[in-house]
Structures are given as C-alpha cells and as structure tokens.
Amino acid sequence: MKAGPIRSVGLVVKRGVPEALEVGRRLSAFIKGRGLKVLAEPEAADALDASPLVAPDLARRADLIVVLGGDGTLLGIARLVGAREAPILGINLGGLGFLTQARIVEAQESVARILAGDFSVDRRITLEAVVERRGRQVEPGCEEWLPAVNDVVINKRLLGRIIDLEVFADGMPFCWYRADGLIVSTPTGSTGYALSAGGPIVFPTLDVIVLAPICPHTLTNRPVVLPENLAIEVVVKSPDHEASLTLDGREVATLKEGDLVRVRKGKARVALVSSTHSYFEIWRDKLRWG
C-alpha cells in the first residue's frame, strides 16, 4: 500500500481480557524496538508502556491501529477514525473474526509486514444516520449525522407488538413494513444482525446496502440489496408505542410516531488491513460451512 510513514501505532486492547493485555505487551515492545511510538487508552497504557490517549484522540493521531479483541472492539475504534482512514489491523483472541482477521499467533508477523509496507487495505463503506422530528433534528447525540460501520437498526421497544415503517428510496415510495423492525446494513454488517434476520451475506468490499426487515408480518417482505448511493428515509408510523434507533448496537435515540430516520452512505470509509486469509476461509471458519 502507498501510504504515509508509520511513526505511531495505537494499541486498542479489549478490557478485562488478560490474554489481550499480554499480547499487547509483546507487541508494544516489538513496535518500540523499531523506534516507533506506541499509543494506548489510559486504562491499558501503563501495562503496555505506552503513551495514554483517550479513544477519540488515539483514532485521530495513530498512523496504524492494532485492535486486540473481537469485532465489537474493532467497531468501537473504527467509528472514530473518520476521513483519515488510518489502517486498522484486527487481531482476534480466538480464531478468525469477520473483522478481526488475524489470529494471535500471527500478530507480530502481521505488524512487521505492515511496518515494512507489505500490505493492502479493504476500504469498506460506512453509513450515517440522523433523526428528524417535525422537520428538526432531535435527541441528544443526534444533532448531527452519526456513523455506523455495520448497521443502522430501527427496533420496537415492546415485546409482542409490531411497528409500522414507511420507507422511501431517493424520495420515491419503496415499501411499507409491519415488522419487529428494520436493519439497514453495509456489506461489512451483512454477517451481523442482518444475517440473523435472513439477510444475504454480501462480499464485504462491494458498494451496496442491505435492507432486512426483522420478523415482517407480510411474508413477501424480503431482504433487498440496493445501490450504496441511494438515500434511505424511514418514517415511524406506529402511534401507540415507541421504537429505538441503534447504530452498531449502540442505542442513540428513542423514536416516536412521525419521526423520520435518514440513512445515507457515510462520507468516510473504514480501511481494514487485508487478511492473508481469504473471505471464503473466514466464512467457512465462522459459519462452520466446511
């Protein structure tokens, strides 16, 4: 990959996992032995002999980010990187992950390869979402477009009830869902919540989005794959109960009747260091296909 020089490496360690901390110590010593600066979140900085930085600052300053944990840990830091597109290497604490695509035994070798410039990245599309109520943006934290790497989800709050959602694509009426909710997913997120809702597995470097209804009342409401440049608008039509909006599993807003959720392709992409393992190998491993 043609990229700027790597002068600092951010280590993001899954909290409460001693194995992750131990691997992080070894990587920190290896990286510092190359004359590079190591950055880490304050909770782990002393143990890693690294300079302490809170996650948003680490995401803004590190030239390379190494994540020791699962896909959730990687998603947390990936949302913060933004337009810098600093390369992210995911080291899975178990086998392979859908996002963390290297094993622990491959950690030092993978970092060495990147520092030598022998790597490529997958630039994955992201999503952005905002909530409007009576024409104005609402909810603390929803005053601007918020990023999601995996998915934007509208979900019912009450067990045993369904919600009505009217969906528009580029301003054109698309579908009316009566369901438990709706998932708008990136290809990266197609192996997450959308998969459990019956959505397709999408090759992760494609530029498309997936709409997957959750337990639709109408059986002909099927998941669909759409061009990534379509602007999706979802209007909440249920008058008698609330819904919630979550991005990558984080609840960011409570939705009421008439609220409009706008979803679009994000301005930034996530640059994940390409795995030496093929996507087909990862799918076979994680989904137990072979």
Residues with catalytic roles: 71
Q: How many helices (H) and strands (E) does the chain have?
A: 7, 19
Beta strands in 69-107 (DSSP E): 88-92, 102-103
- Please identify which residue in the block is written with the tokens 């392979």: 96
Q: Which residues contact 126 (CB under 8 A, 6 or more apart)?
A: 147, 148, 149, 186, 265, 266, 268, 269, 270
C-alpha to C-alpha distances, 186 to 197, 198, 209, nearest whole angstrom: 14, 15, 5
Q: How far is CA 34 from the centre of its chain?
A: 31
Residue 187 near residue 202, CB atoms below 8 Å: yes
Measured CA to CA, the distance from residue 74 to residue 65 in angstroms comes to: 10
DSSP state of 281: H
In DSSP terms, 176 is beta-bridged to 166
